[in-house]
Chain A
């Protein structure tokens, strides 16, 4: 009972959950649970089947990609209220595209992605709300990634 209340409180702290109708809110709350990860523990790895959509409540989650010779490269950190693992909801990608690891002790909401996708199939209105939210997340990440790609702080190529 206590766990359930914690979950409801956590969900209600997130803005876009507040905008859901009571019915939609309860449906999603049913398929969510709270996850705790310790510092340096892995949340999921590259290649894993995507099972949960995560929302960071506390702490910091690093997104990393492994490359031979270079090791694990940390390319992004997700802060509280940010979504981790959007690939579980978008239809095309079927495996995790990056690994995640907790940089600090963290608490996240995990939402069962398969059931969430089915909700969308059955209830187009809810499906649209979820997809719109995901589109925002992906758009934001894309733009930020582009800026990172520019290597703005790198050495200029031309000598004076």
Chain B
């Protein structure tokens, strides 16, 4: 007698081709499935309707300042590691209209529209990325104020993580305790083996989806293969940060160390790292009017602490040098974040290492700071 009940925390197995059923079930339940696709030479997160859209058979080649997606000699769907896109754009869109207002008889009248909040099902979220979502939850949803746009989308969100068995050289999730296996923060968590997906049940919503899909109990043998795969993945991780707990204090106590000048000279203040980072949350407000000045619109747009205008107000710029802005970014991500949100702001996804045109490697810089301040 096979136990056919689904419980939280248990792991089941589904045949590979059942992945399509997963996508269709999610659609039936009113979600818009989003998954990784190969687009413009990079892995991008797009709406998907079938498994054909997934980058089956591809692998990412990543190093400092280098990114390629190439066919590998395998048939896995989720072998690729994070590209320049992050999932944050679904919870925190790059551009959102906040409200409009128009001038009527000398008085401004605002139009507050309740947007139709989308229901996204994110498929293929890596453990590091789901850790990033959890970190952003603490930024946008707080006791004193919550961002209504993020909060509503987050409520409607379903997360299907895919554990990592083939990390890239730029990954360092093991140092940040965010991978290669997801430890929570998901509705369903997949591990892609050769013939099956192992599916770990993380929530009632996840269970509700799985009930519509043909599954089998996961045998001990499959569990063992998965375990072996995780061990190999951990061993394959090259980059690391040692003594992580001491990093915030080390950085915040050495804000005037001469080494900042050195890094500051290499940095181009191009904002790439902040654009590809899954936890960066800074934003700006744009006000625009028509030529008559009778209609106005407020929009929220992504911003970056590397932008000159970021720290400029009437009276001048408080961070005029590149070095000061680089210092702000690194000491925030790896230092101040702990004081602000009780965790570090970095998940070890390695994107900033890959996408920095100056080849600045955050793990190397931390190591250097540790050495020069010892």
A→B interface (CB under 8 Å): 156-160
Nearest-CB distance from A138 to chain B (Å)?
Answer: 31
| Most-contacted residue by chain A among B312, B313, B315, B316 (CB, 10 A) | B315
Contact pattern, B 266-289, Cβ under 8 Å of A = 1, otherwise 0: 000000000000000000000000
Q: Report, as a range, how many residues of chain B touch the other chain.
A: under 10
A-B contact pairs, 11 of them (CB 8 A): A156-B314, A156-B315, A156-B316, A157-B316, A158-B312, A158-B314, A158-B315, A158-B316, A159-B314, A160-B313, A160-B314
Residues of B within 8 A of A158 (CB): 312, 314-316
Residues of B within 8 A of A159 (CB): 314
Apart from A156-B314, A156-B315, 9 more pairs, CB < 8 Å: A156-B316, A157-B316, A158-B312, A158-B314, A158-B315, A158-B316, A159-B314, A160-B313, A160-B314
| Interface set, chain B 279-322, CB cutoff 8 A to A | 312-316
Interchain CA distance A160-B314 in the complex, whole Å:
4
**Chain A residue nearest to B313 in the complex (CB):** A160
**Chain A residue nearest to B315 in the complex (CB):** A156
Nearest-CB distance from B308 to chain A (Å)?
Answer: 12
Query: Which 4 pairs from chain A and chain B are nearest by CB?
Result: A156-B315, A160-B314, A156-B314, A158-B316
Interchain CA distance A160-B309 in the complex, whole Å:
10
Residues of B within 8 A of A156 (CB): 314-316
Residues of B within 8 A of A157 (CB): 316
Nearest-CB distance from A157 to chain B (Å)?
Answer: 8
Interchain CA distance A101-B312 in the complex, whole Å:
44
Residues of A within 8 A of B313 (CB): 160
Residues of A within 8 A of B316 (CB): 156-158
Interchain CA distance A157-B314 in the complex, whole Å:
8
Interchain CA distance A142-B100 in the complex, whole Å:
55
Nearest-CB distance from A152 to chain B (Å)?
Answer: 11
Residues of A within 8 A of B315 (CB): 156, 158
Nearest-CB distance from A153 to chain B (Å)?
Answer: 12
Nearest-CB distance from A141 to chain B (Å)?
Answer: 28
Nearest-CB distance from A41 to chain B (Å)?
Answer: 42
Interchain CA distance A158-B315 in the complex, whole Å:
6
